[in-house]
Structure 1
Amino acid sequence: MRRGWVLGGLAAAVATAAVAYEASPWPRVWLLRFFAGDGSDPVSATAPHIQPGLEQRLDLRYDGSRPECLLDVYQHEGTRPLPALIWVHGGGFVTGAKEPLRPYLSVVASHGFTTVNLDYTPAPEALHPDQVHQLGRAVQYVVDHAAELDIDPDQLVLGGDSAGAHIVAQAVLASLDREYAAGAGITEFLDPARIVGVALASGPFDPAAAMAVRGPFRWYLRTVLWAYSGSRSFAKDPEFAYSSITPHVHADFPPAFLTSGPRDPLAVQSHALAARLREVGGDVDEVVLEETSRSGHVFDFDLGSSDARLALGRLVAFLRRVTTTPHRHGASDAW
């Protein structure tokens, strides 16, 4: 009898877990957060390239409504005010943090830029378009505090990796195209006149197309899009069509720098966005690595890699082209 009770209890627990797994994105998100990371260590490989004289302002609160809404500012000694690269980390909308990017963005700052590294509220704690709006509030914070931060508020480049690249691209596009913004449900906007460029690494620029893939990556996409949208039936939501950036860009999209690795399952989406921008007359600088390269999704931050060093050099050249920063001999200039 006791054994029957035990087996019955186990069966009930399994059934309850199965129902919860299908009724909410939370069990899947917990799995993703538990197994987050690919085993690489970009911090230790990149930290040795940080130059002396770095100034850091850490964990500045840009939005008092959420505890996660903090940003860092990194600068080197030199002529001020400086153009700023404002970066949004990735993590499939549900994981990630700004801290692992501190070494990389500190190295970027060595070339004569201010770099801003921000956190936002992950999904499903917050749902789209909250993260897009939080980026807008971070940018507004930088503009409002430009004098004390020694930033030129009229020379801002927005950058992001993976999910962060999507947040950046959608925020910029919505600010340029209010009809698109209405369809996407976005109601807070950037000032496009202040955005002189975007840097986008391995972004999911066409989630609807990505859902056509099979295997574990499809499960991953379904999980994060369910969490981000708040709807298990997100694909039937009219707003979901507006999650695809590529079909909606036009010629007034700011100059764009794109990277992806040959082993990145989203590389085809970076290539498609670059092709579309060229088609509409946009300004595009895309890093395309040799097919023999082993670099994959968001390879950029591990400066122990020759591909990442190449991409950084190209990023710095792009930033120097779209801004008027005084030349400062940075880490990549010695490579």
Structure 2
Amino acid sequence: MLNFDISTMRKNIREIDEKRDAGLTEPDSLEKIRNLSYGPYGIENTFDIYYPKNTDQCLPTIVNIHGGGFFYGDKELYRFYTMYLATQGFTVVNFNYRLAPDHQYPAPLEDINALMNWLMLHGEKYYVDLDRLFLVGDSAGGQLVEQYAVLISNTAYAQKFPFEIASVQFKAVALNCGAYFIGQNSAINQDFPFYFGETVTPALEAQFPVESYITADFPPAFVATASHDFLKDAAQPFADLLIAKGIETTCKIYANQDHTELGHVFHLNQKSEIATQCNEDEITFFKRFF
């Protein structure tokens, strides 16, 4: 339905993101290993790793899943945000994954899983601590954080997928402005036809809504949104569901003190004090689970 317009949408969103980041510079306090490969799909299976200079032992590690409606985004647009996280004493993995419509569901989940397998084999060389592993994502990336965390924590759900799930665990996750409850009240491909395809099979339908497969083994979660986020209304119900399952959960709706608009994925703006506050809150939450 949206395929004909995706190239224009990508161009327009990129202009907004580049304007947001204009004038920013990369911190010189970090080691930056760029364009490593974790899979067979070229640039879409590349990633960067950042960690503080003079690091000599594995650090707690954050893996970031970028947003973009499943059709947009890349690690370059997330480098300032993820480098900030690394300056706070973490090893941070910032990666690309395959995008719709060229690659449809479950391609991003397969790629996340391939990345985790790579980190299991090679991560120690880059100061990745698999015993202190955290996952963060926003928008579509928030949905992918949720779904992959369910795959890791619910073996019955994992068996619904045609690939073997990596044997990793997450100490905690952070989900920012996420797209939750896909398929709960409408066909799963209604909002994202370019991602799920026009023909939805019974096997695919059985994987949604993801929330129905969340168990008490889901990792502790920080759920964030903003006063003018177009996905705001899903955040508190999602957090309430986690709490009802017995999962340690913090939910925050951030707002500007002057009541001006604070929108979708606000936390990526490294020039914004409220974004810094959100990111610091999530880091503080993660540190509780070291």
Task: Output the TM-score relative to the length of structure 2.
Answer: 0.89
Runs of 5+ unmatched residues, structure 2: none
Runs of 5+ unmatched residues, structure 1: 1-21, 213-220, 324-335
* 2:272 partner amino acid: S
Deviation at 1:274, TM superposition (A): 0.8
Deviation at 1:227, TM superposition (A): 1.1
SS of match in other structure, 1:312: helix
SS of match in other structure, 1:195: coil
Between Structure 1 and Structure 2, the one with more helix by share is 1
Checking the alignment, whether the CA contact within 8 Å between 2:113 and 2:166 is kept in structure 1 is yes
Q: Distance in 2 between matches of 1:186 and 1:36?
A: 33
2:219 is aligned to 254
The partner residue of 2:60 within 83, 95, 102 is 83
Query: Does residue 241 of structure 2 align to residue 264 of structure 1?
Result: no
1:331 is aligned to none
Matches within 5 A, 1:112-131: 112-131=89-108
Deviation at 1:267, TM superposition (A): 1.3
* 1:44 partner amino acid: A
Relative to structure 1, the CA distance from residue 44 to residue 36 in structure 2 (aligned partners, 3 Å threshold; closer, same or farther) is: closer
* Aligned positions, number: 286
2:181 is aligned to 206
Q: Distance in 2 between matches of 1:293 and 1:187?
A: 45
Structure with more relative contact order (C-alpha pairs < 8 Å, separation 6 or more): 1
* 1:53 partner amino acid: S
Deviation at 1:125, TM superposition (A): 1.3
Matches within 5 A, 1:186-335: 187-192=163-168, 194-209=169-184, 222=190, 225-231=192-198, 233-234=199-200, 239-240=204-205, 242-290=207-255, 292=259, 294-323=261-290
Checking the alignment, whether the CA contact within 8 Å between 1:43 and 1:101 is kept in structure 2 is no
Q: Distance in 2 between matches of 1:243 and 1:167?
A: 13
Q: Distance in 1 between matches of 2:89 and 2:282?
A: 13
Deviation at 1:238, TM superposition (A): 5.5
Higher Rg: 1
Q: Distance in 2 between matches of 1:106 and 1:36?
A: 21
* 1:123 partner amino acid: A
SS of match in other structure, 1:63: coil
Aligned structure 1 segments of 4 or more residues deviating by more than 4 angstroms? 209-212
**Root-mean-square deviation (CA), in Å?**
2.5
Q: Distance in 1 between matches of 2:42 and 2:27?
A: 33
Q: Distance in 2 between matches of 1:278 and 1:257?
A: 11
Q: Distance in 2 between matches of 1:53 and 1:142?
A: 23
The partner residue of 1:62 within 32, 38, 47 is 38
Q: Distance in 1 between matches of 2:57 and 2:21?
A: 28
Indicate the percent of aligned positions where both proteins have the same amino acid: 26
1:10 is aligned to none
